[in-house]
Amino acid sequence: EKGTYPHYMLKEIDEQPLVTRRIIEKYRNENGGLTVDENIVNAVNAADRIYIIAAGTSYHAGLIGKQFIENWAKIPVEVHIASEFSYNMPLLSEKPLFIFISQSGETADSRSVLVQIKELGHKALTITNVPGSTLSREADYTLLLHAGPEIAVASTKAYTAQLAVLSILAAVAAYGKGLSLEFDLTKELGIVANAMEVLCDQKEEMEAIAKEYFSTTRNAFFIGRSVDYYVGLEGALKLKEISYIQAEGFAGGELKHGTIALIENGTPIIALATQEHVNLSIRGNVKEVVSRGANPCIISMKGLEEEDDRFVLPSIHEQLSPLAAVVPLQLISYYAALHRDCDVDKPRNLAKSVTVE
């Protein structure tokens, strides 16, 4: 039920603080620490390499999940687009574990990879929002997102739930190997939930940004470095699927290798600057596009902000920044679509779950 909300998408964006807190509760043990089914932790830690398989928004979550698992649990991870995996199957390691990320648990492209790797005798874990879904039933293990039903075609709360669950899985796998994180993940996820709440209360500001940058534009670019690049990919996907603006996400450093040719007077560039180690470089990229006439919208984080930034996120742990940085992008896409009279919850040509290959 969408209650007083005009659209499911807006309701689901607003549910993200609650979902994040619910995930912390669901994955908390009696001692207040985080916990994941022991069999799953053992399977992760028995793997010499993890293969994440997903599509669309779930693929974007996988790219960030790779960072969590590699940085914290020190297990190499490859992230693959499900539909490409079968033709371009990489040389598999000796003890692979496959992680399928799928909100619906019904994506045919992902299922076909699952069937293929089961035939090879490999183990699979599905991270899904839907208990009893095909990918959940057919995998060896399941981790649930606990995000509640996601009705809007454009995925929002499932994405941040995927990030939260992947972070917990990575942290618990690390603890299982005797590695420790430099911070308290439970506490930091709580700070993320609070930040999401602050962001959801800034809808007027997001609407103003949408109007300012996306009322009439034909195209838009999202740039970032490191995990901000991956958040940019998701921001671009959100914008294109519901507002039909041609949008692309690029790695800041890759711009000058071709894409910069597309910049014209007034082209909106959404630049994400939440990562201290690449802050100077991404700001250099913004200068490059501004000198070609682009209309920059810099979204930074408290502590890294500069005078010209259009929006500043509350301060959260740098490695978890995607969970908060995506929220303004979701809201901006929502308002851009609204102002362009698009059907926000049911964009043309799209279905909630893609059950054909």
Chosen residue from 12, 21, 47, 57 binding ligand F6R by CB under 6 A: 57
Residue 232 within binding range of ligand F6R, rule CB under 6 A: no
DSSP state of 34: B
Written as one letter, the residue type at 153 is V
CA atoms of 97 and 182, how far apart (whole Å)? 26
Query: Least distance to ligand F6R from the beta carbon of 101, Å?
Result: 7
CA atoms of 314 and 353, how far apart (whole Å)? 33
Chosen residue from 20, 83, 126, 155 binding ligand F6R by CB under 6 A: 155
Helix (H) or strand (E) holding 53: strand 49-54
Q: Is 140 helix (H, G, I), strand (E, B) or coil?
A: coil
12-20, 90-98, 99-107, 182-190 -> range binding ligand F6R (CB under 6 A): 99-107
The closest residue (CB) to ligand F6R is 56
Query: Least distance to ligand F6R from the beta carbon of 135, Å?
Result: 8
Name which of 62 and 296 has its Cβ closer to ligand F6R.
62
**93-129 as b/e, with b when 16 or more CB fall inside 10 Å?**
eeebbbbbbbbbbbbebbbbbbeebeeeebbbbbbbb
User: Alpha carbon of 228 to those of 121, 232, 278: distances in Å?
Assistant: 36, 6, 10
Name which of 206 and 273 has its Cβ closer to ligand F6R.
206
Nearby residues of 155 by Cβ (< 8 Å), 6 or more positions away: 56, 57, 58, 103
Nearest CA to 77 out of 58, 64, 60 is that of 64
Residue 142 within binding range of ligand F6R, rule CB under 6 A: no
Q: Which residue has the tokens 């649930």?
A: 144
Report the interhelical angle of 321-339 vs 157-176 (nearest 10°).
170
34-42, 147-155, 297-305, 334-342 -> range binding ligand F6R (CB under 6 A): 147-155
Residue 345 within binding range of ligand F6R, rule CB under 6 A: no
Name which of 4 and 349 has its Cβ closer to ligand F6R.
349
2 flagged as catalytic: no
Q: Residue 51's beta-bridge partner residues?
A: 78, 98
User: According to CB under 6 A, which residues from 102 to 131 bind ligand F6R?
Assistant: 102-104, 107, 110
Residue 154 within binding range of ligand F6R, rule CB under 6 A: yes
Query: Least distance to ligand F6R from the beta carbon of 66, Å?
Result: 16
Nearest CA to 67 out of 180, 152, 190, 171 is that of 171
Residue 208 within binding range of ligand F6R, rule CB under 6 A: no
Residue 58 within binding range of ligand F6R, rule CB under 6 A: yes
Name which of 193 and 237 has its Cβ closer to ligand F6R.
237
Residue 56 within binding range of ligand F6R, rule CB under 6 A: yes
Site size toward ligand F6R, by CB under 6 A:
16
Name which of 57 and 319 has its Cβ closer to ligand F6R.
57
Name which of 265 and 349 has its Cβ closer to ligand F6R.
349
325 and 314 Cβ atoms separated by less than 8 Å: no
Binding site for ligand F6R (CB under 6 A): 55-58, 102-104, 107, 110, 153-155, 237, 241, 353-354
Show which residues are catalytic. 352
